Amino acid sequence: MRDADAEGRMSAAGSQLQRSIVVVIPALNEEATVGDVVRAIPRTMPGAAVPHVVVVDDGSTDRTVHVAADAGATVVSHKSNLGSGAAFATGRYKAVELGADIICHIDADGQFDPADIPRLVEPILRDEADFVTCTRFAREDLEPEMPKVKRWGNGVVTRLVNWASGGQFTDASCGFRAYTRETAHRLNLFSRFDYAQETLMLLSRSNVRMAEVPLPVRGEREHGESRIANSVLAYGARCFSILMLTMRDMYPIRFFGAIGTFFLAAGFFLGMWVLVHWLRTGNTIPYTSFLTGSALGVTLAVLLYILALLADMVVRQRVLQERTMLELRLLKDSLTGSSAGADNPPRMADGMPDGQVAKA
């Protein structure tokens, strides 16, 4: 049920500008639920309206396309299954094409309640955030029932994301999210699968204002199995791979620095072992080979630290290029007369330090 105070705040925020929200729903063989999700999406709310619902069919082999279209959605189809990250990108491009001021992503399986969309987008409508994600674990009374291994896996992934990005997230894997058109222009993602964590790390690096909103979520699907996490081990392996690659590309000092520190510690330990033995006995035998290992460890550490600095220079160039591309995209928006460009001037991200997350 919508909070009356929240609705009042949203009305105040939206009194001067009616924002356009495009809801994007990625779907793969979701004929049992996608129609109900589309029909349950509120089309109007204080300060905003939902003129379009886009269902991204990621190569479904059932009647997902027909059910979604019959429910009133605009359907964009992939000829084959390309993955959740590719579906996310397709939906983002289509929403921008349709003139969205705000893009909201919700799953097609019914685990998220479409009636909660106004609560999710409230921080954006109040101009307190540019990216909002639902969190399942910020409040104990809202934590869903789910297998312990999945709950543990979500916790591990969230801690890794926080360590990599310097963030304070409580849920790094939830797919119920909303973001502004400008934020959409910032999302240059590489992963075809499990884009959720990569998105948080990329936007943390870009200093985008982010917020988490605690909402009730169904812990398990009512129909079928999860398309992403039906194998916890495989899901964990994919997440770890994506996290490592994103760290390498966006946080090279932490990535290469952590590896370098490991080799430095190993080299220091071996060297101290030989030194203590020499002080006690006057010779290095039988640990003479440890001196080679110590020198190798320290040398590798120094080389990795140098590599980290050089890689950070490359990342800085990438950030500058992305800022230039962002300005060009926003200029294009203003010249084409989109609502995002004409009525809502772009705000360059400059607010929070890397990874800081507001709590809504």
Most confident range (mean pLDDT) of 5-19, 112-126, 239-253 is 112-126
Class of residue 15 by CB neighbours under 10 A (exposed 0-12, middle 13-18, buried 19+):
exposed
> Where does the pLDDT of residue 126 fall: very low under 50, low under 70, confident under 90, or very high at 90 and above?
very high
pLDDT, tens digit, 9 for 90 and up, residues 185-222: 888 887 777 788 889 988 888 888 999 999 999 866 55
In residues, how long is the chain? 360
Q: Which tens digits make up the pLDDT trace of 293-321?
A: 999 999 999 999 999 999 999 888 877 77
| DSSP letter for each residue of 166-223 | T---S-SS---EEEEHHHHHH-----SS-HHHHHHHHHHHTT--EEEEE----SS-SS
> Taking all residues of the chain, what is their mean pLDDT, rounded to a whole number?
83
**Which pLDDT score is estimated for 179?**
96
DSSP state of 138: S
* pLDDT at position 1 over 60: no
CATH of domain 4-249: 3.90.550.10
Q: Distance between CA 65 and CA 79 in Å, rounded? A: 12
pLDDT interval class at 274 (50, 70, 90): very high
Identify which of 34, 67, 73 has the alpha carbon closest to the alpha carbon of residue 54. 73
The arithmetic mean of pLDDT across residues 11-36, rounded, is 81
Q: What are 163-181's pLDDT values in tens digits?
A: 888 889 999 989 999 999 9
- Give start and end residues of each alpha helix (H) in the chain: 4-14, 34-40, 64-70, 84-97, 117-125, 148-165, 181-186, 195-205, 232-250, 252-281, 288-336, 339-342
**pLDDT value of residue 222:** 58
Q: Is the pLDDT of residue 353 over 60?
A: no
Quote the percentage of the chain above a pLDDT of 70: 84
51: which 2 tokens?
């003129």
**Lookup: tokens for 63:** 């009647």
Contact in structure between 174 and 253 (CB atoms under 8 Å): no
pTM of the model: 0.74
- pLDDT, residue 358, reads 56
pLDDT of residue 14: 41
Q: How far apart, in whole angstroms, are the C-alpha atoms of residue 78 and residue 86? A: 9
- Given a cut of 80, whether residue 355 has pLDDT beyond it is no
CB-based contact 354:204 (threshold 8 Å): yes
Instruction: Specify the 3-state DSSP secondary structure of 45.
Output: strand
| 332: number of Cβ within 10 Å | 12
Residue whose entry in the numeric block shows the structure tokens 């006057």: 282
Q: Can you tell me the distance from the alpha carbon of 225 to that of 184, in angstroms, rounded to the nearest whole number?
A: 29
pLDDT tens across 63-118, in order?
Answer: 999 999 999 999 999 999 988 888 999 999 999 999 999 999 999 999 999 999 99
| Nearest CA-CA partner of 62 in 23, 110, 94, 108 | 108
Query: Cα separation of 202 and 206, whole Å?
Result: 6
Q: How far is CA 105 from CA 22, 25, 34, 95, 120, in A?
A: 9, 6, 13, 10, 10
331 vs 135: which has the higher pLDDT:
135
CB distance 220 to 230 below 8 Å: no
